[in-house]
Chains A and B, each alone.
Chain A
Amino acid sequence: MSRAMRFTGFVAGAAIALCPLASGAQEAPEPPEGFPERPLEILVPYGTGGGSDQLSRAMANAIEEVSGTSVQVTNAPGGGGLAAIPDFMAAPKDGYTMLESIDAVATNYVSGRMEQHPTEDIEPLAIAQITFNQLYIRPDEDRFTNFEEFVEYAQENPGVLTVANVGNQGSMERINMHLLEQDLDFETKQIAFDEPSERYASVIGGHIDVLFEQPGDVRQFLEAGQLKPIVTFFESRPDAFSEVPTHRQVGGDFTALNRFRGFWTHPDVPEERKRYLEALIGAAWETDSFQEFNRTKYMHLVNSYRDTEGATELINNAIETYTNVYEQIGIETRGD
């Protein structure tokens, strides 16, 4: 089955060359008059310890490093990333509060769960991570040891195997799984977790069978031998996972949707402050310490930085892509 799943144009990261990035010390951008006079805040709509949280804390440290302004990270998990949106919209529109979020802003907007348009009602400053996904199992799992056996087991026991993810219906996680299951004809049960540590513990502890996650978020568990990747959702095998087959190689005939994570501000924030924050994130991203963080999170495998303009384009394309996918697989969109 290929139908119209072969999207050209945008699919986050798919067309991106696998190129390691140059890094270097960065000059701090010139701040506007009277800003910032107190610590900045990054509001993270997911729990502590997961990818969004790790990114935000690394970014906070890098911003502190380049500007001397301290940055506080606040977690407000719940509702597949939606619970924090009201808090962000209610915060003063003075540029002190930034929202971290992920591709869920696009999926939630398209499905109508989120009122705010992710490039109009909230304004992207920059995308700081674009990364691919994998499925993981326990290394001591005895019902299946690789992707092929996993699919066989799932085909013999439809709807029995559980998959831990972080998204709601129509999310990047569920769409990727849906497309793979459709192409390979198997069925699993999706369970959404808002707290990352609980998600990982559930799989490692044997309560949930499979984990859907990005490799950087679970690196420590991969290194400790507590999780084992069985398939990579990406066009080609990344060097770090050369032994793991891609979804294309196992028979998935679709362009995988990648995770992107970035930072937003409110459109009513004064223009000069928005441009300063954009420059600040850009400079922080280039610091040696942030680049080192990127390497530990396998984030150097793809060119994963977008400034405001690039981010806006990427998010608008994502909205279009998800709208198309939803229509094809029969999920209601906000227009329906």
Chain B
Amino acid sequence: MENFLGGSAALFSDPVALTIFFGGLLGGLLFGAIPGINMLTLGAVILPFTVSMDPTNAIMLYSVIYTSGVFGGAITAILFNIPGSPENAPTALDGYPMTQQGLAAKAIGAAVLCSSAGGLCSVLLMMAATPAIAGWAISAFGPPEIFGLVCLGLAMSASVGARDLWHGLLSVTLGMLIASIGTDPADGVPRFAFGFQFLLAGISFIPLVLGLFAVSEIFNQAEERINLGGERPKVSMELPSLLEFWRMKVTVIRSVIIGFFAGILPGIGAVLAAFLSYNEAVRWGGKNSRFGKGELKGVVASETANNAATGAAMIPLLALGLPGGALTAMMLAVFQLHGMEPGPLVFITSSDLVWTVFAAMFFANLLILALGYFQTKVVVHVLRIPFPLLGPGILLVATVGAYALRHLSLDVWVMFIAGAAGFLLRRSGYSVAGVILGVILGGIGESSFTKSMQMLDYNPLLLFTRPITALLVGVALLTIGLRLVEAVRSSRRHRVALANGSQSD
């Protein structure tokens, strides 16, 4: 509690911190709400500019963008059936039918309230759990255990945002290949540099992120301009009554739990949290529920869970230095830009920073309630900004950002090549988030594997004599194995169905 008050005081006593806090809050809400472009675009674009910020403010900014960005997409999902970000997709399933039935205000009210409630629960759980987990992690997680966790993270990453398992696995593998370009971490042997001196140092992370997230998004939008249709609906917000909220308590609590646990697993994050929670709501809903046709509980399940995942996703990042998703991967880069390494020791070395970030996430969730109202009024107007103005603007800032960091035009090239690659990858059903996680986790994984091998006399089988490592690697193999079996079965079913279909023609 004392720490939390300290963090809050640090946040509210510094006008710069406060400005950054509100900037992040609004930025996340707006970018979250603009369809197609999302908080990852914003995160990528501002990454190079955080170098000049105070490290606490820079990390805090990302945590606030994360919180408000996850909520921001709910409004457009409900009003236009266009989820601002993938984690808002299940919200549209019931939110949009409600709009068609003239119940938009109610859906928005529930989304605002539940995002805030889910987020607050998650932040409180995070504050209670992270220091303890960090303390435990320091004695439980040596290099072999970190390697096990990275294996699990990679297995999980294969299910983030790709069309199917094969595309997911290939996305992650591509990321790991990119991470291996340069000089090996153990002995300094050049790999995949093809004698090209610029490749000896590897691919710089920030231009890569800018390209994969910001530039590919602009290309994507430029190609298929989203048509929002004529009339902007008149919007207002109607918070659910206490009685209504009370009736949904089971859905809310269940969604908080699902969101929190999905968020805590490296590589999963808010998207899966929302889908899992929606699925469970449908499963528990009974025969008479109206899911898919405008059931308020559908909106509640999805919005509670995706915000509940945000606090939880901070736990592996802060306690172990392992990012759970694309935005937390960018946060890891922010830490590194400022000479810090998140991990169990961060609570000893930068406890002020950690608690300021916790406090900022708490207040960001609280303020969603107030800003939700404001946003519903504003967002409809923001959507009127023509893309031919917005797209090039973002592209310009991204280019400046890529160059500004090292003053190497090489980085601008890397950004545009990554942008074009990201554009093609997305169109073919691959996941750019999977690629980024592959890059980050691949790098951490290789380094922990090298150290583990030195510790274990270069006998990989000894990894399985360490219970946590054995468990984590086992679960990772099982996850991939089960999903492979499932994928093979479904493709066989598909082939059989095709064969039957062609026979009956």
Which A positions have Cβ atoms within 8 angstroms of B? 38, 41, 47-49, 53-54, 57, 70, 72-80, 82-87, 89-91, 96, 108, 113-114, 162, 168, 189-198, 200-202, 204-208, 220-221, 224, 226
Contact = CB atoms under 8 A, between A and B. Distances in A.
Given A57-B339, A90-B200, A83 B348 contact: no
Contact of A48 (B143, B201, B339): B339
B186 interface: yes
A208 B471 CA distance: 21
Given A41-B406, A205-B344, A206-B139, A86 B197 contact: yes
Interface stretch (B37-45, B177-185, B212-220, B386-394): B177-185
Interface residues of B, number: 45
Contacts of B141: 205
Contacts of A221: 348
Contacts of B343: 197-198, 201
B187 interface: yes
Q: Which 10 A-B pairs have the closest CB atoms?
A: A79-B188, A207-B142, A82-B188, A86-B200, A87-B201, A83-B183, A197-B341, A78-B185, A205-B138, A48-B339
Interface in B286-333: 321
Nearest to A47: B341
B90 to A, nearest CB: 38
B51 interface: yes
B490 interface: no
Contacts of B345: 197, 200-201, 204
A48 B349 contact: no
Contacts of A201: 138, 343-345
Nearest to B183: A83
B454 interface: yes
A146 to B, nearest CB: 23
A90 B198 contact: yes
A168 B451 CA distance: 12
Nearest to B199: A86
A224 B447 contact: no
A192 B407 contact: no
A57 B338 CA distance: 9
B185 A38 contact: no
Given A79-B184, A79-B188, A201-B138, A192 B341 contact: no
21 contacts: A38-B407, A41-B406, A48-B336, A48-B340, A48-B341, A73-B339, A77-B185, A86-B193, A87-B201, A113-B187, A168-B188, A189-B454, A189-B455, A192-B451, A195-B341, A196-B341, A198-B343, A198-B451, A201-B343, A205-B137, A206-B142
B336 A76 contact: no
Interface string B335-363: 11011110111101100000000000000
B336 A75 contact: yes
A64 to B, nearest CB: 11
Given A86-B201, A205-B139, 6 more contacts: A48-B338, A49-B341, A54-B339, A78-B185, A83-B185, A113-B188
Nearest to B336: A48
Nearest to B144: A207
A84 B341 CA distance: 18
